[in-house]
């Protein structure tokens, strides 16, 4: 099972090594509760995509938001030292 916390099992390690394609992509197996699989399948139909495309995009967005939150946490103390306490304060400075 793929885990977002970076942990993997030895079975997953074996599957990904065996499942690597010519473009360097790896095949993984994930388990989803039924309601998420149904949502995924609805999105696949609506977006005219496949499951892999939808899941790849969801992961890209997850990692982008995660990186943004980490950077924001790092910048808050610096901003507060400059008297910037709200997003509106920042917007005023850069506008």
Based on the fold, state whether residues 23 and 60 are members of the same structural domain: no
Mean pLDDT across 35-50: 96
Return the SS3 of 3. Answer: coil
For residues 61 and 89, membership in a common domain is answered with yes
**Do residues 31 and 3 touch, judged by C-beta distance below 8 A?**
no
Domain containing 49: what range? 34-94
Cβ count near 69 (within 10 Å): 10
Within this chain, do residues 54 and 19 fall inside the same structural domain, yes or no? no
| pLDDT of the residue at 30 | 92
Same domain for 22 and 8: yes
With 50 as the cut, is the pLDDT of residue 76 above it? yes
Residue 81 sits in the same domain as residue 38: yes
Claim to verify: residue 52 and residue 84 sit in the same structural domain: yes
pLDDT tens readout for residues 17-38? 556 666 778 889 999 999 999 9
Judge if 2 and 24 occupy the same domain.
Answer: yes
Total domains present in the chain: 2
């Amino acid at each position: 099972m793929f885990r977002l916390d970076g942990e993997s099992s030895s079975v997953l390690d074996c599957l990904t090594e065996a499942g690597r394609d010519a473009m360097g992509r790896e095949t993984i197996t994930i388990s989803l509760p039924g309601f998420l699989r149904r949502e995924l399948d609805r999105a696949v139909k609506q977006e005219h995509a496949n499951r892999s495309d939808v899941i790849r995009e969801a992961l890209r967005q997850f990692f982008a938001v995660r990186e943004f939150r980490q950077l924001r946490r790092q910048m808050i103390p610096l901003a507060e030292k400059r008297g910037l306490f709200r997003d509106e304060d920042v917007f005023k400075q850069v506008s």
